[in-house]
Structure 1
Amino acid sequence: MPRSARIVLPHTPHHIVQRGHNRQAVFTSDDDYNYYLENLTVFKQEFGCGIYAYCLMTNHVHLIVDPGRSPGSLALLMKRVAGRQTRYINKREERSGSLWEGRYKSSIISAQEYLPACCRYIELNPLRAGMVTDPAQYQWSSYGAKVYGRRDTVVDLPQFYLSLGDTEQERQTAYKKYVFGTVPEHEIKLIREAVQRGQLTGTDRFRGEIEKKLGIRLSNKKQGRPGRKK
């Protein structure tokens, strides 16, 4: 059965998840994580993409990628980064074969309604997994750049973040408060299911706007707004 065409929109954030083959570990050392992030920086610049959030877990990655003006840039970015990581690991371990589990999964995000929630969802992954007690303790995510001003060449700060305050300190404080606010369970479920099913992360109104713009029908379970920011 042929694969369904992936829908990618220009100047729009997309939640990306890519897992290791058979859910095996992709990153086993600091060098592995650093190599992935170095290539993510190189190719996002080459293809004109923006990275609004990321979290590298042991056997999978979460990214929020804006392809910029060219929708094809998203696939090129993922292909180049994944390919380099595969060659790097295979050469080191003297092995061959796939490092990744088939195609990456993606979900178009309504920036106005769900981009903050998706960033929070991604950056809280290590906390939900019981790996840390504070997301700031996890080195391989975009959280530190947003809350502590950690230098991070991967991260492009989204407009919603820049509007949180007039100064860097105000933005950091406001974002930390938001991340540690109450996260509605339905918000987690919505974001998780949307990316797993390749559906839109947004409301029915957002889906209607996209359908009108593309001239196609999109399937999505009924979704509501995310919980109010605390």
Structure 2
Amino acid sequence: MPYDDLRKGRFNESSRAYFVTTVLAEREAAYFRDFHCARLAIAQMRNLHDAGAVDSLAWVVMSDHVHWLFRLGETHTLSEIMKAYKARAAHLVNGYLNRQGAVWQKAFYDHALREEEDVRAIARYIVANPLRAGLVENIGDYPHWDAIWL
């Protein structure tokens, strides 16, 4: 799907919950198999949460992509949040791996949740990714996820 097609219909509403997915530029690189790289990506989600730009509800970092469920704050658009997240995480990952170049695909997928959608069910779907991928048999054994309902 072309990048511009992903932006069609995108709107921003503070306090609305968004489910976003962003993927590594080279999926086969799987940078987040490295524990430290995954923690660098997680730290940037936490930084945006702590700054009040988003209210993180759930997330999981897989080897080649990130799923993140959050409520958008008052100060930034969804695109600004994702641009900041991807830029900061890429800078740290590239520094740690002593490499240059794109870390992320240009686009990201987003879904603005409707009122009738069950936020907790979507959070469960997100954090169950490692189970569905066969990486662990118990989600507690996977180190790169969190949800506010714990």
Give the TM-score band, short-chain normalised. Answer: 0.7 to 0.9
User: SS at the partner of 1:102?
Assistant: coil
Cα RMSD, aligned residues only: 2.2
1:102 matched residue in structure 2: 106
- Higher mean displacement: 21-30 or 51-60: 21-30
TM-fit CA distance, 1:5? 5.1
Higher strand share: 2
Q: Which amino acid aligns with 2:74?
A: R
Q: Which amino acid aligns with 2:127?
A: E
TM-fit CA distance, 1:71? 5.4
Q: How does 1:84-163 map to 2 (within 5 A)?
A: 84-143=88-147, 146-147=149-150
1:220 matched residue in structure 2: none
Between the aligned partners of 1:113 and 1:101, the Cα distance in structure 2 is 28
TM-fit CA distance, 1:112? 4.0
TM-score by length of 2: 0.84
- 2:88 is the counterpart of 1:75: no
Between the aligned partners of 2:93 and 2:114, the Cα distance in structure 1 is 35
TM-fit CA distance, 1:111? 4.4
Between the aligned partners of 2:46 and 2:11, the Cα distance in structure 1 is 24
Contact 1:13 / 1:111 at 8 angstroms: preserved in 2?
A: no
Q: Which amino acid aligns with 2:57?
A: Y
Larger relative contact order, structure 1 or 2 (CA cutoff 8 Å, min sep 6)? 2
TM-fit CA distance, 1:138? 1.1
Q: Summarize the Cα distance change of 1:10–1:137 in structure 2 as closer, same or farther, 3 Å threshold.
A: same
- 1:140-182 CA-to-partner distances (Å, cap 9, x unmatched) read 1115x634xxxxxxxxxxxxxxxxxxxxxxxxxxxxxxxxxxx
1:180 matched residue in structure 2: none
TM-score by length of 1: 0.57
User: Which has more radius of gyration?
Assistant: 1
Higher helix share: 1
Aligned length: 145
- 1:35-62 CA-to-partner distances (Å, cap 9, x unmatched) read 2222211122324310111011010000
User: SS at the partner of 2:103?
Assistant: coil
Q: Which amino acid aligns with 1:23?
A: R
- 2:66 is the counterpart of 1:58: no
The unaligned stretches of length 5 or more in structure 1 are 148-230
Between the aligned partners of 2:11 and 2:89, the Cα distance in structure 1 is 25
